[in-house]
Amino acid sequence: MGLWAAVHAERLGIKTLLVDAARIGQGASGGLLGALMPHMPDKWSEKKQFQFDALVSLEGDIAVLEAETGLSAGYRRSGRLIPLPKPHLHRIALGHSQDAERHWCHGDRQFHWHVSDTAPVDGWIDPNAGASGFVFDTLAARVAPRSLLKALVSFLGKAKHVRLVEGLQVDGIDPDNGVASTREGTIRFGRCILSAGHSSFPILDGVTSGLHSSLGQPVKGQAALLKADVDAGLPVIFRDGLYIVAHEGGLVAVGSTSENRFDDPLSTDGLLDGLLAAARAMAPVLADAEVVERWAGLRPKAIDRDPMVGAHPEHPRLIALTGGFKVSFGLAHRLAEAAVRAAAGAVCPFELPETFALSSHITVASHKM
Ligand SMILES: Cc1cc2nc3c(=O)[nH]c(=O)nc-3n(C[C@H](O)[C@H](O)[C@H](O)COP(=O)(O)OP(=O)(O)OC[C@H]3O[C@@H](n4cnc5c(N)ncnc54)[C@H](O)[C@@H]3O)c2cc1C
């Protein structure tokens, strides 16, 4: 989120200092999965339209970034495969197919929610997983998280207006006086965009009055990377929280657990073993695939589950940019643009859903007991 914000700041010519407590990518964004999953196409809403527009625009934004840096972000609109184990799910999917025709269009581009009795590709998903058929949606995509971060950092390395400092933690923010404190002294700012992942929440809690509950929490996730000789263009498989994502270079990512309680935020355990077993059953081609990495991270989940973006109602110089939870990669470029434009007092070419506003989350946290 912070890297995309810095990219937009550079493009708008805003003098910017980006500080990261650790090395770039040591937070949730340095993971393995990178699935870009659309919401269901039914019950259309402002929020779904925003996500749709973001998922469509990301392709072009990444193409520009790749052209500027000469680096690949490992992006591909490879689609998504959802097995339908029960007959009623097939009926529901047919309804979603019509919803997608209605809502998933952008200019002359139409994305689909195909429903079929057999899987549209051979040798990937277990045919028995879809006893009542399969969905193949053509909107879903994937990106390689670490490759994307490298491309963003490379862009910023040549920036004229942005300076990136790693290994410097912000210990406190005095938003009204425009001061952030660090062990190496204070940083003075006109505007501060806070995109510290889940660590943003305690900082925001500390400067917000009248809260009855924290503005957000970390949710642990575990994932793994397998070495497998499969086509990188294969669709993402998704079922009940299990994601199987084929990446470039013979790598397949498997995720993710969702843990509200945990002892060690960065360890992996039997929960990941369970996911791997489910993945190998779902995609038998992975049965003997070697695990090359096990990884865990903390997702930023805002109190109202939606992203948390925008100026603090009590401290207008402080702008939140966090709460992407499980869908940050598909939204970050747009959320960051909105945050930077809010900071610069510039008009934003699109609107954010109201429930994304920091003020909306504060209202929820002020009423929740
Ligand atoms: C297992 C797992 C799988 C996931 N899969 C997907 C997926 O398939 N698709 C998807 O879209 N999303 C996925 N997510 C969610 C996604 O990774 C996160 O929502 C996203 O990375 C959050 O980005 P962020 O920039 O808000 O936070 P982070 O990436 O955590 O970045 C926050 C940064 O702030 C820095 N920081 C923190 N505190 C301070 C401080 N005081 N001073 C200075 N710097 C500070 C940290 O060092 C860090 O670099 C997954 C998450 C997990 C854990």
- Residue 324 alpha carbon, nearest atom of ligand 1: 19
Please give the angle made by the CA atoms of 98, 101 and 102, to the nearest 5 degrees: 90
Please give the angle made by the CA atoms of 196, 200 and 204, to the nearest 5 degrees: 145
Give the single-character DSSP code of 340: H
For residue range 229-287, list pLDDT tens digits in order: 999 999 999 999 999 999 999 999 999 999 999 999 999 999 999 999 999 999 999 99
3-state helix, strand, coil in the chain (%, to 5): 35, 25, 40
CA distance 165 to 123: 46
Which residue among 3, 4, 26, 33 is best mutated to probe the pocket of ligand 1, counting the most ligand atoms within 8 A of its Cβ? 33
- What is the separation, in whole angstroms, between the first and last Cα of the chain? 30
Please give the pLDDT value at position 369: 66
Gap from CA of 196 to ligand 1 centroid (Å): 8
Gap from CA of 62 to ligand 1 centroid (Å): 19
Q: Contact, 210 vs 364, CB < 8 A?
A: no
Which residue among 29, 62, 169, 260 is best mutated to probe the pocket of ligand 1, counting the most ligand atoms within 8 A of its Cβ? 29
Query: In this prediction, what percent of the chain has a pLDDT beyond 70?
Result: 100
Query: In sequence order, what are the residues at sequence separation of 6 or more whose Cβ sits closer than 8 angstroms to the Cβ of residue 16?
Result: 6, 9, 10, 161, 162, 163
State pTM to two decimals: 0.98
Q: Collapse the DSSP code of 302 into the 3-class scheme (helix H, G, I; strand E, B; otherwise coil) and give the result.
A: strand
Q: Collapse the DSSP code of 67 into the 3-class scheme (helix H, G, I; strand E, B; otherwise coil) and give the result.
A: helix
Whose C-alpha lies nearest to ligand 1, atom 25?
1
| Chain center to CA of 85 | 28
Gap from CA of 216 to ligand 1 centroid (Å): 14
Please give the angle made by the CA atoms of 155, 233 and 127, to the nearest 5 degrees: 145
Gap from CA of 97 to ligand 1 centroid (Å): 32
Whose C-alpha lies nearest to ligand 1, atom 41?
170
CA distance 77 to 233: 8
Pocket of ligand 1 (CB under 6 A): 1-2, 19-22, 26-29, 31, 33-35, 169-170, 195-197, 199, 221-223, 255-256, 297, 299-300, 322, 324-330
Residue type, 107: G
Please give the pLDDT value at position 368: 75
| Chain center to CA of 189 | 27
Whose C-alpha lies nearest to ligand 1, atom 14?
326
Please give the pLDDT value at position 184: 95
Please give the pLDDT value at position 224: 98
Which residue among 267, 326, 327 is best mutated to probe the pocket of ligand 1, counting the most ligand atoms within 8 A of its Cβ? 326
- Residue 253 alpha carbon, nearest atom of ligand 1: 8
Gap from CA of 366 to ligand 1 centroid (Å): 25
Calculate mean pLDDT across residues 107-129. 96
For residue range 36-61, list pLDDT tens digits in order: 999 999 999 999 999 999 999 999 99
Gap from CA of 298 to ligand 1 centroid (Å): 7
Q: Collapse the DSSP code of 131 into the 3-class scheme (helix H, G, I; strand E, B; otherwise coil) and give the result.
A: coil
CA distance 369 to 353: 25
Calculate mean pLDDT across residues 62-91. 98
Of 261, 263, 291, 295, nearest to 276 (Cα)?
291
Which residue among 215, 299, 322 is best mutated to probe the pocket of ligand 1, counting the most ligand atoms within 8 A of its Cβ? 299
CA distance 301 to 219: 7
Gap from CA of 138 to ligand 1 centroid (Å): 26
Residue 95: is its pLDDT beyond 80?
yes
Q: Contact, 131 vs 145, CB < 8 A?
A: no
Q: Contact, 222 vs 255, CB < 8 A?
A: yes
Location of structure tokens 């790749």: 66
Residue 10: is its pLDDT beyond 90?
yes
Of 109, 115, 87, 111, nearest to 101 (Cα)?
111
Residue type, 26: Q
Please give the angle made by the CA atoms of 140, 146 and 147, to the nearest 5 degrees: 75
Q: Contact, 187 vs 174, CB < 8 A?
A: no
